[in-house]
Amino acid sequence: MRRKWTPRVQLLALTLGITALTPVLLDSSAVFAQSGQAVTPTYAQSTSSVVLQSDGSPSVFAMGSGGSLWNYWYVNGMWDSYEVTTGGVASSPVAVLQTDGSPSVFFESTGGSLWNYWYASGVWYSHEIATSGVSSTPVVVLQQNGAPSVFFQSAGDELLNDWYIPSPGIWGSATVAGSGSDFSSPAVLTQENADGAPSVFVEGPGNSLLNYWYIPSQGIFGSATVAGSGTTYSAPGVVYQTNGAPSVFVEGPGNSLLNYWYIPAQGIFGVATVAGQGTVVSTPTVTLQTNGAPSIFVEGTGNTMFNFWYIPSEGVFGSATVAGGGRAFSPPAATSQPDGAPSLFFQGPNNTLWNYWYVSGQWDSSVVQPPPTTTTPGSQVLLSQSGQGGTILPPFTASSQWIIEWSYNCTAWDEANNPPNDGNDDVFDVINYSNGNVYVMESGVSGNGTNSASTTGQIRLEIITTGSEPTSPPESTSGCAWTIQVSQS
């Protein structure tokens, strides 16, 4: 028997094409990339897993199950994907654009090695930069010649730097700070007054905040303590102020969010509390607004996603919730849309990968990568689909008992309604379109599970979810996000 359908107000949302494997998006910070071309040395920085394609659409890199590396890129109104490597990834990937606009990706591999994968002429190439000693997500900047320079924490809590030298085609290496100096992934930008030389920020001993900057005329790194012990409890995020000096954001004591900015005229760092205690549980992700002021995104308590942005005319930070409780399970990766508005990528419930983008004064969202399925070895996949809202699926033929693996999440749909739904009346049903037999009947904000059925022959399933009535042919592009896989032994 079919459940009675209750229509709801619909939100026109972006419909994304998605696949069936599960990436895990982990630690990330800021990226500033010019569409389809290499980043200029002045703004050459990346500790993010997202870069922009030539048309301004995002291309995202994520660690998948089994340490695989996946690339998801938005094209023709949907997400396409490719598995770059099947294993060996042990940290979040970070990406920059090469001089021709193609991506180059860096990550810590198993055993503490450092690897680089780069795309050229339709093929992915790879090289092991360092065979051991890496113990953090790397950060990458571009040298003035466009070649990458990589900074990372070592197993001995050193700050190390490897940089590519194009003319002989080799990697140079150096120790920036010795053992016991670096206790986080670095954050880095290039100095405007020093020929694009790097300036690196790390969490130091005793939860301090340290800065190391390269002095080209002397060939050495200078160093300074930005904030003393007990001030820093995360890897930093850093952007430029309008005067070119750095502005650094960290998780502070008691899960607060702190900002340190350099004042060139006085030669000191100012400090301010952006958000009080009990707010922040991740490394800050920092981007620039179109007016040059910073905008910060952090995972908050209760698996929320918060945004804090500076309002120069008022001298204060505004704040808003991007995604409510139970929706965010990692720091975000961030980039800018063609109009300058932010677009975020982060891990959602059940190891999903979500995209939230700001449009028309509000946050919209859609799943990029659905939850994993767990097909029994030796079984045959009869149907694998993902989508949003109600729809009628393509037919499949079963010759014996079959298994249906399913998951759904209504959080984005609930949040988009005005006022937001509480999720108490969300539904997710899977029925036989021909005879009305019910295979899955669920209620609540989200869920997942496995059911079996013995019906044989040609079968066509109908998905019913909160948000829109199914149509034939299917036309629904809004409502709860879902994924389903049917298999038989």
Tens digit of each residue's pLDDT (9 = 90 or more) over 355-411: 999 999 999 998 887 655 555 556 788 888 777 788 888 888 988 888 888 888 887
CA 109/CA 227 separation, integer angstroms: 32
Three-class SS state of 245: coil
d(CA 477, CA 390): 8
Does position 31 have pLDDT exceeding 60, yes or no? no
Residue 468 is predicted with a pLDDT of: 54
Rounded Cα–Cα distance for residues 211 and 275 (Å): 23
pLDDT (0 to 100) of residue 162: 98
Considering only CA atoms, give the Rg of the chain: 24
pLDDT for the residue numbered 378: 60
Furthest C-alpha separation in the chain:
80
Please say if the pLDDT value at position 470 is more than 60. no
Reading the block at residue 36, the tokens are 């389809």
Summarised one tens digit per residue, pLDDT across range 156-212 is 999 999 999 999 999 999 999 999 999 999 999 998 777 889 999 999 999 999 999
Angstrom distances, CA of residue 321 to CA of 307, 333, 356? 6, 16, 12
Look up tokens 């001030």; give the residue. Answer: 231
Supply the pTM of this predicted model: 0.73
Question: Please, are residues 22 and 369 in contact by the beta-carbon 8 Å criterion?
Answer: yes
CA–CA distance from 469 to each of 6, 15, 284, 466 (Å)?
A: 8, 16, 40, 8
For the chain, which domains are there?
A: 24-369 (2.120.10.70), 380-488 (2.60.120)
